[in-house]
Amino acid sequence: MELREFAWWFFALVGVGFLFLLMLLSYLMCHYFIRVEEAQYVARSDLDPNYLDSNSLEVTTLEPNDLYAPVIRIRRRYRVWSARTTHTFIAIVLSCTGVYMISLYPEVTSPFWLGFVLQAFIYASAFLFYKTWRKGEE
């Protein structure tokens, strides 16, 4: 099969699907680092889980650098993956909007269900985006 046999919207859906898989990976990594952080607090029962919430990456006068270093590293990794989720969410929304705008031209043929599939990608990625930044109280 040659690439010319596929319609234009097929490649657009493959691209958006790839972005969605990247967002799913980012969500899973954020979820993993939340669990690792909770395990750190269970391992050290003298730490309060809400202690570092006010200023998570800076050292206070009461804590030495090496005591909370694992928790600070875990939170940095969580924030990197959370930022990647945000960037991927914006890319999915912009990609789906662009594909939908292209499909509105009368010269371009596209299936009737393309808009519904693009909306499903947007809503599913919005759900993952919400679940990534909602860190506790579940």
Task: Answer yes or no: are the C-beta atoms of 119 and 36 closer than 8 Å.
Answer: no
Please report the DSSP string for 26-40 in residue order. HHHHHHHHHHHHHHH
**Mean pLDDT for each consecutive 10-residue tract of the chain (138 residues)?**
74 95 94 83 58 54 57 84 94 96 88 94 95 65
The answer for residues whose C-beta is within 8 angstroms of residue 81's C-beta and 6 or more apart is 26, 29, 30, 33, 132
**What pLDDT does 85 receive?**
93
